[in-house]
Chain A
Amino acid sequence: MKHEDAPKPDQNSGLTRRDFIKISGVGVAVPLAFGPTVVRAAGEDVEVLGPGKAPISLMVNGKKLTAEFEPRVTLLDALRDTFNLTGAKRVCDRGTCGACTVLLEGKPVYTCMVLAIDAQGKKITTIEGLTEGDALTPVMQAFVDHDAQQCGFCTPGFVVATTHFLQQHPNPTPDDIRRGLSGNFCRCGTYDGIRAVALSKSTGASLTGESDGTVREGGSL
C-alpha cells in the first residue's frame, strides 16, 4: 500500500534504520480501521495493532506500566516520554552509541532499536531499576570512585552495560574490556576511568550486585 506519511529522503539526511522499521511497521498491509485486526502470517492468525494508538503494557523494574502508543514508538521513547524514566538517553538514535542501553530479559539492548510494542511481556530493567532511592550499586560507586564520568550523559548507558559485562566477566582481562565495552561511546573521554572500574580489584561479585540468573563464563563468582 502506498504510504502517505513516508519521509521524503530529501528532507532528512537519509533514511535511518529505525525510520525504516517505523515505515515498514506501519505500512505492512494494515487497514486503517479501529480495533484489533487479525491477519494470517506464517500459517498463524496474528493480531495487528496500529497504525493508531494501541494499549501496550511493559514490565519495567518489576512494575507493570500501561499506556497507549502508536506501534512506531520505540521502547526508549516510551520509557522516557511517557513513563519519565529518563536515565536512558537518545544520542545517536540508530543503535551505535549505547547511551540508551537497558536490560531486556537481563541482556543489554539499545532501546532506540526496539519498538515498545515488541518489548511487551519481557522483563525490562532500566538504570533506575538497578537501585532504590539514593543508594548506589557497587558499579555506580566504582564509577564515582574512579571518576569514570564527566558530563555524565553517556554514563547511565555505560553503567548498565558495565553491570552486565561484569556479571559475564567477573575478572575481565583488558582484552575482555576492549571487546565487551565497545558498544558504548563517550565524548568527554572517560574510558580510562571506565577501564579502571572494570579492572578494579574489587570487581567480580562485589560490583555486580544481585545475580540475574544468566550463565557466567570465565571464572566463578
Chain B
Amino acid sequence: MSEYQWPNPATRPLLGKKISRVDGPIKSSGRAKYTYDYNPAGLLAGRILRCPYAHARITSIDTSAAEKMPGVKAVQIIQKPGTEIFWAGDEVVGVAAVDEPTAEDAIRAIKVQYEVLPHFISDAEPPKNIASSSGPISQDDFEDMEDNQVPDEQVIAAIKQNGISFHPDEKYLKDAQESGVDKKVVEALRTAKYAQATASKSPYKKTAVQTQGQPDKAFTSAAAVVEGLYGASCITHCCLETHGMAAEWPSANDSSASPGTNLLVHISTQNLSGIAPQIAEPMNIPAGSIQVMQQYVGGGFGSKFSPDRWGIAATQLSKSAGGKPVKIMLDRAAEQEVAGMRPSSFARVKIAADKDGKLVAWESRSWGTGGVGGGGTPPLPYIFEIPNQRKQNIAISTNQGSARAWRAPNHPQAAVITMSALEDLAAKMNIDPVDFLTRNLEMTGPRAAIYRDELPIAAEMMEWKKSWHPRGDKAAGLVKRGLGLSIHTWGGRGHNSDCDLTIHPDGSVEIKMATQDLGTGCRTIIIIVAADTLGIPMDQVKLLIGDSRYPVSGGSGGSTTSGGVTSSTRRAAVDACNQLFAKVAPALNAKPEGLEAVNATVRVKSDPSRSLSWKEACAKLGAMPMTVRGKNPDKSKPPDLTNSGVGGVQMADVSVDTETGIIRVNKMVAVQDCGLVVDVKTAESQVKGALIMGISYALYEEKILDPVTGRMLNPNMEFYRLAGIADVGELQVHMMTGKGYDERGVIGLAEPPVVSPGAAISNAVANAIGVRVPFLPLTPARVLEAMGSHG
C-alpha cells in the first residue's frame, strides 16, 4: 500500500534525478505549435488601431472607409468617442480581414480624432512636501491598496478620513471578502461616507509613515550610519511570443470543436483554466460553452493571465464575421508598450548598525510607478526584520500601460534597494559582506538556517575568500574587478490543482489536467511524479494538458505550479496504484497493502519473486479503464505535499571598464532551495535562466518614455536590449537537496532566483569601482556619472 508522502531517496527511481524535458524534441525541431502558429483554414487576421497619445479623449471615429475595403470582414470599435484614454497604445478599434496586409491597410483607413490632454510620465523623485491625498478614495485607489498589501489599519483609516467616491454594492463587498479582503476593511467600506471625486488629482499617492521601534534613538546611538540612493527602472516583460488570442464560433456541424462548444479560443496564456470566465462575462455566454486551448506558450513571466481587451475584440470580430476564426497577436511595439511592465522603485535609505555589525535602524522614503494605477510597494527592508524602522512609499500614477506581475513582483526592486544599502554599510564598517550578512541572519526569521547553509557553499563556488577585496579595486589598470552578493526569498506554495489519472487495461496511463507549461518543465515533472509512483517508464505515461475541458488547475503565477501539479499527480497516482493493488492482490495471493509497484512490475514486498508485469497487472482491471482524481490541497489525504518559503544566495563577479563604463559579468553563482527538487536538470535551467534574465535587467533593460510625447522610445528589440549570449559569463548553480530540504515538499522555483541578480551585480560593481551606481540598469552613462560625481 502506498502512502501519499514523497518517497525517500532509496525508493524513487526518477524523482530528484537529472531528466531531459519531455517536450524538448518537439520544441527543438520547430514542431511545437504555439497560439501564434494557429493557422486554420479561413483564418482572419485581426489588427488593432491604437491611440498615439499618452492622454487624450476620443472625439470621433470614422470606420466607413475601412468597412468598404475589399477583404475587410469586420470592424469593431473597442473604445467609443467620449472615452478618456490614459496611455499611449491603448486599444481603440479592431479590424478583421482576409490577411494581415489587408488588415493593416484597413487600420490606416480609419480616421480617429482626439482631444489631446496633458500627460504625466515622470517617475523622478517626488517633491519633498507633497500633500497626502485628501480626496475621496476611488474604487481603483481601494483595489490598488489591497493589491499592494497596504496594512488593513491604514486602509480603514484612509476610508474613514477621506470617504469613498464609489458605491460598493453587497455583491462587491461579498466578492471583496471572498477574495481575501479583511472583514473589518469590508465593514469600513460598507459604512463609508460617499464623497464626489475631486477633479484635479495629484499623481502622487503617499502611504502613511510606518514606524516601529525607536528609529531616531537607534540612529543616534548607532556605531555606523550610511545614507544612499538606490532603485530599479521600469522594464517590460518582452515575451518573445507576443500576447494574443484566436477566437471562433464554430457552427453545430463543425468538426473542429467539441460538442457543446459555442466559442473556441486559442490563447497565449499562463492561466488556461482561468480564461473562460473572463470571456464569459463580457460576451454574456456561459463559461462552460467556451473551450480554451493552448499547448505551448512563448513566455509569460507574469503578464499573461487575462484574455485582455484584444482577446475580447477578437471574440467580437469573429462573431461579426460569421464565426470565422479571428487571430489577434500583438505586434512588437504594442507588446512592449502596453502588454506588461515591471514597476520602477527607487528609495532614499538610511541604515545603521551597532559596533558588532548588527543592524539596528532603517529609514526609507521610496517611490515608483506602475502606470496609471500607481505602483507596487516594495517590501522594505527586504528580508531583514530590522528592529527600528521608519518608512514611507509614494506611488506615482503615470500615463503609461499598466504594470503586470513580473516574476517575483516587488522583490527584485526591494532586494536591490536593501542589499545595496547593507553592502554600503558593510563597506563603511570595513566588514566582508558575507560576514556582515551572516552576523544579521537571525533577523531573516524562519529561513535563517537555509541562508546559513547556503552562504558558505556560494562563497566556496565563487572563491570569495580568495577573490574578495575591500571596496574599490586597488589593482593597476583601467578595468576594475569586484564581487557582490544578495539573498532572497519567495513563498511558492502549490496552487489548487485537480488531476485525472487513468490506467487502461492494456497498461497505458493517461493524465489530464488543464494546466500549462511555460517552459518551466511542468509537463516533465508531472510525468516524473506519475511514473515514479507507478514504477513504470516515463514514456508509458501520456500527459494531456492545455485544454479547458480537463480538470481545473491554477494559473502559473507566483511559483505555484510545481507544488500544485506534483501534489495532485502524486495523490492521483497513489490512489490509482492502491486500487490496482486491490484488483491484483488475489492473483499474487497477497494482501493489497503487501504489494509494491517497482520496475514495471507489481510484486509482493516480502517476496519480490511473486510478481506480475505492469501490463499483466493492469489486465486484471477487466474490460474497463480506471480513472481516479487527485487534488491539491487535500486535507483528507495528508501530508501536505507542498510548502512555502524558500531561500537563495547569489554572488556576482564583474569587471568594469572605468573609461567606457561598460560592465561585464565574469561569473555568477546561485545556491537555491526549493524544497524537494523533482527534476534537477530543469530546475538548474530555471535558475540559470533567472541569472541571465537578471544580468539583462541589471545592465540593459529599461522602458524609456519620451517626456514630450509620453510615448515609449524603445518599443522594439534593438533599443530595448536583452542580454545576448556574449553578455553572459560563467554560471554555476547549486540546488540544495537532501536532508532538511527534501522533506519540506515541493516548492515552486520560477520567482526566487530572479530576485537577487540585480542586487548582486550592483554590489559587485560598487566593490569594483568604489562608488555606488544608484539605479538599474547599470548603463555605461550611469557608471561614468557615478564615478564622476565622486571625483
User: Residues on A close to B: CB < 8 A?
Assistant: 5-8, 10-14, 16, 70, 72-73, 77, 80-81, 84, 86-94, 96-97, 99, 126-128, 130-131, 134, 136, 140-141, 143-145, 147-156, 159, 177-179, 181-182, 184-195
Contacts and interface: CB of A to CB of B under 8 A. Distances in A.
Contact of B28 (A5, A73, A144): A144
A52 to B, nearest CB: 11
B780 interface: no
B55 to A, nearest CB: 15
A72 B29 CA distance: 29
A73 B240 contact: no
B23 A152 contact: yes
Interface in B310-335: 331-333
Top-9 shortest CB links A-B: A87-B30, A189-B692, A153-B298, A189-B689, A152-B27, A150-B519, A151-B519, A127-B30, A144-B24
Nearest to A22: B101
A155 B337 CA distance: 25
Contacts of B241: 89, 91, 151, 153
Nearest to A181: B725
Contacts of B722: 185-187
B332 A91 contact: yes
Contact of A97 (B52, B240, B723): B240
Contacts of A194: 725
B50 interface: yes
B28 A143 contact: yes
A191 B693 CA distance: 11
A62 B32 CA distance: 22
Contacts of A6: 108
B218 to A, nearest CB: 41
A179 B25 contact: no
B699 interface: no
B298 A151 contact: yes
B440 interface: no
A213 to B, nearest CB: 23
Nearest to A155: B27
B296 interface: yes
Interface stretch (B34-42, B136-144, B532-540, B574-582): B34-42
A11 B30 contact: no
Contacts of A11: 49-50, 52, 107-108
Contacts of A73: 101
B206 interface: no
Contact of A193 (B32, B298, B685, B696): B685
A97 B722 CA distance: 9
A203 to B, nearest CB: 16
Contacts of A155: 27-28, 30
A192 B28 contact: no
A150 B29 contact: no
Given A147-B24, A151-B296, A140 B29 contact: yes
A126 B37 CA distance: 15
Contacts of A148: 28
Nearest to A96: B717
B484 interface: no
B108 A189 contact: no
A136 B25 contact: yes
B20 A144 contact: yes
Contacts of A77: 100
Given A11-B49, A92-B716, A154 B240 contact: yes
B108 A143 contact: no
Given A140-B28, A144-B24, A151-B518, A187 B299 contact: yes
A86 B333 contact: no
Interface string B11-22: 000000000110
Given A97-B240, A151-B240, A188-B689, A136 B731 contact: no
Given A11-B108, A153-B240, A80 B724 contact: no
A22 B319 CA distance: 31
Nearest to B20: A144
Given A147-B24, A159-B28, A195-B725, A5 B332 contact: no
A140 B29 CA distance: 6
Interface in B271-287: none
Interface string B689-728: 1111100100000000000000110011110001111101
A70 B70 CA distance: 14
A104 B3 CA distance: 58
Contacts of B728: 191-192
B20 A191 contact: no
B105 interface: yes
B239 interface: yes
6 contacts: A149-B21, A154-B240, A159-B29, A179-B726, A181-B725, A188-B299
Given A189-B690, A189-B691, A86 B37 contact: yes
